[in-house]
Amino acid sequence: MKRLLAVLSALLLAAVLSFAQAAPAAAAPQTPVVFVHGFAGKGWQWTTMRNDLVSSGYPQELLHVFSYDWARSNKTTADRLSSYVDGVLAQHGADRVHLVTHSMGGLSSRWYIKNLGGAQKVDHWISIGGPNNGTNVAELCPSLLTPCKEMRHGSAFLDELNSGDPTPGPTVYTTFRSPCDLIISPTSSTSLPGADNHRTGCLEHISMMWSSEVIAGVRDTIT
């Protein structure tokens, strides 16, 4: 009887081990994504990119759009972005998010990363056509609007933002710039030392958000 029990126990153990080896490993949880539009932008502008990510298997509930008053200072927007990201993290029980930004959205998000603790909460940061080093077009924008002044070359805001390490912390930084972008002047302004800087084909500033080339680049970066 003891020998029979021993044989049965051995067979049961072998079956359990075989099942454990055959069972597929659980998929790693995906990171929530927060999209940040630019000056005079709207949340719906991310629809094409969000739909593409969903079609590629990214859970729709992990894709969040942060909308804000673009006439306010980028520092004010950064404060609000900080609270928004904390809410997203709490909602999903996550430790970090990806930030995908267009145009001026890159500035408030960088301020958040550098000065408001975001470096420990942002996995990948992506700038699409961002005025990271300023743009000549901001000179045509009314000085009464604080973000217009902040986007000008040599502004106090940009000097502080780009002082020291412009890509601090463990966050992975990626930028996309287009040679045909008439809003970011010069177009090289988008690139940052320490970032993975990409040059796209001839794309207009806004249409970069729904360009298949840029969307593929974003998808490859965060998945």
Q: How far apart are CA 31 and CA 85, in angstroms?
A: 12
Per-residue pLDDT at 22: 41
For residue 33, name the pLDDT band (cuts at 50, 70, 90): very high
Checking if the pLDDT of 162 tops 90, the result is yes
For residue 143, name the pLDDT band (cuts at 50, 70, 90): confident
Q: How far is CA 155 from CA 103, 146, 149, 164, 221, in A?
A: 17, 11, 7, 16, 31
Domain residue extents for the chain: 29-222
What is the dotted CATH code of the domain comprising 29-222?
Answer: 3.40.50.1820
What is the per-residue pLDDT across 34-93, written as a single tens digit (0 to 9) for each? 999 999 999 999 999 999 999 999 999 999 999 999 999 999 999 999 999 999 999 999
Query: Structure pTM?
Result: 0.87
For residue 25, name the pLDDT band (cuts at 50, 70, 90): very low
Largest Cα–Cα distance of the chain, in whole Å?
93
Residue (of 151, 69, 65) closest to 111 by Cα position: 151
| Across 9-18, 50-59, 63-72, 135-144, least confident range | 9-18
Q: How far apart are CA 203 and CA 209, in angstroms?
A: 10
Residue (of 100, 110, 101, 85) closest to 160 by Cα position: 110
